[in-house]
Amino acid sequence: MGYILERTLCASLIGAQRRLSSRKQGNMVSIKDEVAALLERLPDDCTIEDVQYHLYVLEKVRRGLERAESEGAVSQEEVEARLSRWLTE
């Protein structure tokens, strides 16, 4: 993936998190608006595969953020404690 597409993906992920926060506050952003914003951020020479990939990642992030909000998330300390059993220094 090219540098521009990586930057676009990072911007898209940040935007997805902000939109989820906005939804919690009662400000609805339509999926159509989210897709239009994504297309504006992608370079003109992107492929259909680039668009599909970015849509896939945005949807996964959106679902993950919603799940973390509804079910809770694991703290950094808990993750490190769980992984320490498999990781060696």
Q: What is the pLDDT of residues 6-59, one digit of tens each?
A: 666 666 666 666 665 555 556 667 888 888 988 999 999 999 999 999 999 988
pTM, two decimal places: 0.57
What is the reported pLDDT for 82? Answer: 87
- pLDDT at 81 exceeding the cut of 80: yes
Distance CA 83, CA 17 (A): 26
pLDDT score, position 39: 92
Token representation of residue 41: 């951020």
Cβ contact 29:22 at 8 Å: yes
pLDDT at 53: 93
Instruction: Give residue limits of the domains in the chain.
Output: 3-83
pLDDT of residue 42: 92
